[in-house]
Structure 1
Amino acid sequence: MNDWHSWAAIVVFVGAYALIISEKIHRVAVALGGAGLMLAIGATDDVSAFYSENSGVDWNVIFLLMGMMMIVGVLKKTGMFEYLAIWAVKRAQAKPFRVMVMLVVITALASALLDNVTTVLLIAPVTLLVCERMALPAAPFLIAEVMASNIGGTATLVGDPPNIIIASRAGLTFNDFLVNLAPLVVVLVVVLIALCRVLFRSAFVYDGDRAAEIMALEEREAIKDPRLLVQGLIVLTLVVAGFVLHPVLHYEPSIVALLGAGLLVAVSSVETSDVLSEVEWPTLAFFAGLFIMIGGLIDTGVVGEVSHRLADLIGGNELGGAMTLLGGSAVLSGIVDNIPYVATMAPITSELVRDMGGAGGHVLWWALALGADLGGNATAIGASANVVVLGIAERNRQPIGFWQFTKYGLVVTAVTVAISLGYVWLRYFALA
């Protein structure tokens, strides 16, 4: 980090982060401007920014988002989300907290089978309609769902992209994640529900008259195009199956999503221009800029230096190492996207595990996964799902500010990480 490029990259990233936090300039403009500066100062170049697997734009994430946004755009035209919104509210008897609990549980379960970004893309439209029907602010419900998606995605190999990177490096299986992390995730979801009851208590305003109106609705009447709905559900089922069967089929989620979007557009009567208009282009542009900025930190050695210093701090102490890795990863993943962080930290963790005489199921791998996945809840840009939901909320004229999200995210992250530290100590050291 003696090269001036490293310090210049830090200045650009910190400056961009400060502007995003201040919300004085739109985050998309900041991300693209920061990316441009990283290229201008030579912290990264066109080859690294657009073609590098380690430090460039993660096109798998970009095209996964685009494909799923197109599928969701078609499904919106069928009335399916209105149907689900009415159904959910009626099952919860129009009680706001019961609705939130239902949405949180569904999101957490879905995120364990799908990736968390896909889950929020499907759940967010339902949530917006539920809140519209009940005359409730959408922000608390959307924030709770994002956090549920990041927590639920921790449970399985396919639930969060960092888990896939860790599994590949450590040789871990789907069942390894399920056995080691799923029990903790169940506890964390219950804790999240309890926290939501306190954090968002002002949003749980029951309107008896409006509740009576909703209970009198017939959800089947919301379906506008049954034929298109059948086509959309068949394609969505195939896409979900493709996600779940990733370890067998070896198709990247982005490929599955694009194939599904292309098939749905081809077999349906929906105009291609209408489908493309549903894509959240500003969100994709923000991700591209953010990836390039983080790539500048990787190419100049900043991220590697931080990771190695963390590794030096760990040394050969397994308990201290697990605690430090979990806590440190949670902090860093709240600042930079957890995908490049884990990609950088995974080989270092592998060396630490080998030096300690451990194998694939070593506690350090679970500490890294928990810290990276749960730390994404800390800030509004800590995880991909967060950014996606902020984009959807803004498009629907219910914007969620950086600090509006982060003030809740810091609380949830602190509590869930603290519980995770206790879980790791109890399971892998005290009871081992």
Structure 2
Amino acid sequence: MTETLSWNTPMLVSAIIMILTFVGIFTEGVHGFHRTKFAMAGAGIMILLGQYFGFYSPRQAVESIDWNVVFLLGAMMTIVGIMIPTGGFQAIAYRIADISKGKQFMLLALMGTAVTVLSLLLDNVTTVVIFGPLIVLICQALRVSPIPYLLGAALLSDTGGVATLVGDPPNLMIGSAAHIDFNTFFIKMGPLVLVAWLAILAALKVLFREEIAVPAQTPDFTPQEHIKDKRTWYAALGVLAMMVVLFIFHHALNWNAWFVAALGLTLLVFIARNVDLDASFEDVELSLLMFFVSLFVVIGGVENSHFLEYVAQFIQPFVETDLLLASIVLMWSSAILSAMIDNIPFTAAMVPIILGMETQGINVAPLWWSLVIGVGMGGNGTHLGSTANVFIVTLSERLAKDANDPALALTPGLWFKKGTPAMILTLITSSLILWLFFDFFAMPIHPH
């Protein structure tokens, strides 16, 4: 056992900056400043005061940034930016509507499957940005309420994203910090996510039984199935397939996940010669990447002040006493917090605490998986639980305003009635799986 850390001024300073930064990030709806602005301000103040109090420097700040996460997200966003104008995603959506033949639950299941499959490779925000507007168009053509489909897209993309290393930004952060490769991540999370996904689909069928009982009209979608740029679309699909193979072998090749994405992007821009790079790079959400960079700098300062180690020493005895209970408590508490606030800052704060416990010789493997499940599934709890949810809610509000029909808006109250039970169901399911197969989840990630 190492010596107990004592409270000091650098810890106090870094903790205050982190708390104020997080309060600013979580209350962006109140003060009107974008969360990235607060993250940038927090990063700047952390470096200045860190240097003044002798616990942080600009060089340490740059070293604390997890570039693997930043580059991977940037490359994947650019690939999607190249794929969207081809019309391929629209063709998939209209084909699904055609196959469902007016059966609403069939449409919900097929659309949910498409959204989930996409969420395995792309982050859930990108997935709903692609499918959200398409769902609205299809539902208008079928003369049915888009609410079950929009809510289903948000819930199933959040859940599907938990399954892979690249499916959700918190996964990238956890995987990068804990050195979890693509295969290990999918083997541990894939089966659990499949069960949770089926539970959500069943919940949606019960929660929206009245809405989806009405048979939909079956208009002819054939004219809209045309892919505008087949060469680019099929090239992109081929590159994505190659990337999946490389993600599977990236650990054996000694490559980082970002390098696989960058390689895929480079290959795609050469195969699809007519791609306008300026237009594709416009689809990269620079504000989100800047948010990550700033957040890593803030957490790096807190880490260097040893505040997180100080916090970890109070949690450690509980973890050492009952690892299973600690894992389930972490899952539920991170899910509840992620439902109320953004899961990215919460993940950023938890990662160094778990890493600190690992240095004390504790087997933290089940804690990593609990954190992945909690922050991923917890996003389903409220309309603010994930960026994907916020986008879907905004889309439904715009739709309600344009149609002058308040019933088309996904209100916080409606989300609480339909989305929160789905989150609780997935957490109960995940807790049972974690309990039943605890030895599987407790296997060390890097056996010696």
Q: What displacement does 1:25 show?
A: 0.9
Is contact 1:151-1:189 (8 Å) kept? yes
Matches within 5 A, 1:413-424: 413-424=423-434
Q: Does 1:86 align with 2:94?
A: yes
Q: What displacement does 1:409 show?
A: 5.8
The C-alpha deviation readout for 1:189-236, integer Å capped at 9, x for no partner, is: 12111333455668759584xx332xx221675212223333333333
Is contact 2:69-2:169 (8 Å) kept? no
- The answer to which of 90-99 and 37-46 deviates more is 37-46
Matches within 5 A, 1:22-421: 22=30, 24-26=31-33, 29-40=34-45, 42=49, 46-49=58-61, 51-53=62-64, 56=65, 58-109=66-117, 111-112=119-120, 114=121, 117=123, 121-122=126-127, 124-135=129-140, 141-155=149-163, 181-197=189-205, 204=212, 208=216, 211-213=217-219, 216-218=220-222, 221-267=225-271, 268-331=273-336, 335=341, 336-337=343-344, 339-341=347-349, 343-350=351-358, 354=361, 363-364=366-367, 366-378=369-381, 386-387=386-387, 390=390, 407=416, 410-421=420-431
Is contact 2:104-2:213 (8 Å) kept? yes
The C-alpha deviation readout for 1:283-338, integer Å capped at 9, x for no partner, is: 43444444445545545555444444332333322443333333344345554526
Q: What displacement does 1:372 show?
A: 4.4
Is contact 1:107-1:145 (8 Å) kept? yes
Distance of 2:168 and 2:381 partners within structure 1: 16
- The answer to which of 399-408 and 371-380 deviates more is 399-408
Distance of 1:248 and 1:14 partners within structure 2: 38
The C-alpha deviation readout for 1:359-387, integer Å capped at 9, x for no partner, is: x8x655544443344345446676xxx43
Q: What displacement does 1:84 show?
A: 0.7
What letter is aligned with 1:311? Q
CA RMSD of aligned residues (A): 4.2
Give the match's secondary structure for 1:212. Answer: coil
Is contact 1:329-1:371 (8 Å) kept? yes
Is contact 2:18-2:42 (8 Å) kept? no
**Do the aligned partners of residues 368 and 85 (structure 1) sit closer, same or farther apart at CA in structure 2, a change above 3 Å counting?**
closer
The C-alpha deviation readout for 1:386-412, integer Å capped at 9, x for no partner, is: 436756986999599995898466544
Distance of 2:438 and 2:319 partners within structure 1: 17
Is contact 2:269-2:275 (8 Å) kept? yes
Q: What displacement does 1:16 show?
A: 0.9
**Do the aligned partners of residues 395 and 186 (structure 1) sit closer, same or farther apart at CA in structure 2, a change above 3 Å counting?**
closer
Q: What displacement does 1:250 show?
A: 3.4
What letter is aligned with 2:374? G
Where does the alignment leave 5 or more consecutive residues of structure 2 unmatched?
1-6, 51-55, 400-408, 443-448
What letter is aligned with 1:425? W
Distance of 1:381 and 1:307 partners within structure 2: 28
Is contact 2:381-2:419 (8 Å) kept? yes
Matches within 5 A, 1:2-41: 2-3=8-9, 4-22=12-30, 24-26=31-33, 29-40=34-45
**Do the aligned partners of residues 219 and 120 (structure 1) sit closer, same or farther apart at CA in structure 2, a change above 3 Å counting?**
farther
Is contact 1:158-1:244 (8 Å) kept? no
Is contact 2:155-2:380 (8 Å) kept? yes
Distance of 1:48 and 1:395 partners within structure 2: 41
The C-alpha deviation readout for 1:40-97, integer Å capped at 9, x for no partner, is: 2536654344x234xx3x4333332322222222222222122111101112224444
Q: What displacement does 1:127 show?
A: 4.1
**Do the aligned partners of residues 74 and 98 (structure 1) sit closer, same or farther apart at CA in structure 2, a change above 3 Å counting?**
same
Q: How many residue pairs are counted as aligned between the two chains? A: 408
Is contact 1:78-1:224 (8 Å) kept? yes
What letter is aligned with 1:387? T
Is contact 2:165-2:172 (8 Å) kept? yes
Is contact 2:128-2:391 (8 Å) kept? no
**Do the aligned partners of residues 206 and 290 (structure 1) sit closer, same or farther apart at CA in structure 2, a change above 3 Å counting?**
farther
**Do the aligned partners of residues 342 and 33 (structure 1) sit closer, same or farther apart at CA in structure 2, a change above 3 Å counting?**
closer
Distance of 2:160 and 2:130 partners within structure 1: 19
**Do the aligned partners of residues 393 and 166 (structure 1) sit closer, same or farther apart at CA in structure 2, a change above 3 Å counting?**
closer
The C-alpha deviation readout for 1:3-52, integer Å capped at 9, x for no partner, is: 34134224413431442253x515xx233134214422536654344x23
What letter is aligned with 2:246? G
Q: What displacement does 1:178 show?
A: 5.9
What letter is aligned with 2:32? I
Q: What displacement does 1:261 show?
A: 2.6
The C-alpha deviation readout for 1:94-145, integer Å capped at 9, x for no partner, is: 4444333223234445555x3x51x653564134213213227767645533
**Do the aligned partners of residues 37 and 344 (structure 1) sit closer, same or farther apart at CA in structure 2, a change above 3 Å counting?**
closer
Give the match's secondary structure for 1:247. Answer: coil
What letter is aligned with 1:422? L
Q: What displacement does 1:149 show?
A: 3.7
Give the match's secondary structure for 1:103. Answer: helix
Distance of 1:15 and 1:251 partners within structure 2: 37
TM-score (normalised: structure 2): 0.72
